[in-house]
Amino acid sequence: MTSREKTLSAVVVATNKLLERGGEFVLVVTKESILIGQTEAVQDFGAWGKRDFGRPARDAQSGMLPPKLARMMVNLSGADPIHSTLLDPFCGSGTVLMEAILLGFTKVIGSDISEKAMEDTKANLDWLAAQGGAMPPIELSVSPAQTLVLSEPVDAIVTETYLGPALHGREHPDFLKRNLASLATLYRDAFGALANLVKPGSTAVVAFPVFQSKTGEQEVATRSMLESLGWKVERRLRYERAGQHVEREIFVMRRG
């Protein structure tokens, strides 16, 4: 099988029934060796695309997490779906909540400062329910993350924080400076308060922004700031796409 791309995409493998009629071997070249893998399953790209582009409420202005990244973040939390309560305190249009529900989480809480975001989350979760499958009871509230109140502490937080206003790359340096300062205050206040809403030992997986400019990159959330609030940062992973002014840095951190 040949394709225009260097590697065969999931679509090419699936539509040509490569796994039923033949097979696909994948070579991964590392410094030490060449690993050989055989493809056993192909992602359900139709379902991923439908959740990304076919859901009723999309808000490109406030930013939407790609569903696959949301799924990876829920997985990185290591939380057991059956026995854990998962919170997204900046839930936007509900991407993380949708992926958590599809992974079988039975206790899911979402909150956001914006009424519109909450309406979007409800519309998307109703849409998900209409596709069939189990829907657990979901707690939703409109609240700033800094003053969120929960009846019980949760086991995991998975969230993409507020990334600030959409940027076009030609902003005045003073504007960028003020933006960074106000985001730093938000993150300090919010993650200080959220540290009190989780059980000790709980994991938080959080996407923070990293701003790219001609003079280099600028991160807002720092390990030292988060560690001073009681979070131990265990891993940091970068998620970027070419040409983006704002990249995401995923922090995996544990409450001491």
Chain residues in the site for ligand SAM (CB under 6 A): 62-65, 89-90, 92-93, 95-96, 112-114, 117, 144-146, 160, 162-163, 186
Could you tell me the smallest distance in angstroms from the CB atom of residue 193 to ligand SAM?
10
Nearest to 62 by CA among 103, 115, 23: 115
Helical ranges in the chain per DSSP H: 10-15, 18-21, 45-53, 67-76, 95-102, 115-130, 173-194, 223-228
Could you tell me the smallest distance in angstroms from the CB atom of residue 74 to ligand SAM?
12
| 129-145: b (≥16 Cβ within 10 Å) or e | eeeeeeeeebebeeebb
Half-sphere exposure at residue 61, Cβ-oriented, CA atoms within 13 angstroms: 4
Could you tell me the smallest distance in angstroms from the CB atom of residue 96 to ligand SAM?
6
Beta carbons of 239 and 247 less than 8 angstroms apart: yes
Backbone angles phi, psi at 134, to 5 degrees: -75, 135
Q: In this complex, which beta carbon is closest to ligand SAM, that of residue 99 or of residue 155?
A: 99
Q: In this complex, which beta carbon is closest to ligand SAM, that of residue 190 or of residue 253?
A: 190
The angle formed by the CA atoms of residues 29, 34 and 36, to the nearest 5 degrees, is: 105
Could you tell me the smallest distance in angstroms from the CB atom of residue 255 to ligand SAM?
19
Distance, CA of 136 to CA of 248 (rounded, Å): 30
Q: In this complex, which beta carbon is closest to ligand SAM, that of residue 14 or of residue 99?
A: 99
Distance, CA of 255 to CA of 249 (rounded, Å): 19
Could you tell me the smallest distance in angstroms from the CB atom of residue 206 to ligand SAM?
11
Q: In this complex, which beta carbon is closest to ligand SAM, that of residue 18 or of residue 63?
A: 63
Nearest to 187 by CA among 208, 204, 167, 205: 208
Q: In this complex, which beta carbon is closest to ligand SAM, that of residue 55 or of residue 107?
A: 55
Could you tell me the smallest distance in angstroms from the CB atom of residue 119 to ligand SAM?
11
